[in-house]
Structure 1
Amino acid sequence: MAQRSLLTRALWFVVVGWWATPAVVNAAWFLCATVVGAPIGVKLINLVPTVLTLKEPRSLGDPDAAVGQRSLGVRALYFVLVGWWLGWLWANVAAFLAVTVVGLPIAIPMFDRLPLVTSLYRFDG
């Protein structure tokens, strides 16, 4: 699917993205803390760039998306030891930067890299 226009994405950010993104980030981490909610939490983490600016992510069914991925076991171990706290910190710093005019250009690529920081998952848009 093609990206929405810059004007549409900018309006979304001003009206919804700036406040909804921190809520989605923290809801995702709350869900990831539970065994039952973890799959939904991971999906929410992958949707953070879309919530922020309506950026269209690459389809999870895309065969090219799996190229170069680490094994699920390695990613799970990384998440348990490092990803859960580093990703939460990374996402909240990015959310803070996103509400500042100066920090927004830094926040957008940070949110794009959130799946990688959290679980070593390469989820390029």
Structure 2
Amino acid sequence: MRTLLNLIWLVLSGFWLACAYVVAGLLLCITIIGIPFGIASFRIALFALWPFGRMAIPRLDAGAPSCVGNVLWLVLAGWWLALGHVVTGLLLCITIIGIPLGLANFKLIPISLTPLGHEIVRSDTPFAQRGW
């Protein structure tokens, strides 16, 4: 079922959202200071391509630099990427078939706003391996 949902997701919204993350990552990688943000954007682009069966969890070792970086990310790219998830999620929730896809869009909003200090893992990974 995850594979089927991921394929439908890829066609309806995943490809375009991943392209938006790649464009944001390329723009952020123009400067040396923006390279960590660009790498985070590329990491989320892969998550946006295939979201079912994966989840974002907070990293326990993330500290103050991640917090400062998330504030900069929010100002530079996070708000418009999250807005894209909100709009796409609402449009997908119009149909009954699109509701799981819309919910997946809403699942991506927190990581699109604050990507630093999070790790993307498979949903079936045991909690002990996640560091919880």
Instruction: State the TM bucket, normalised to the shorter chain.
Output: 0.3 to 0.5
TM-score, normalised with respect to structure 1: 0.41
TM-score, normalised with respect to structure 2: 0.39
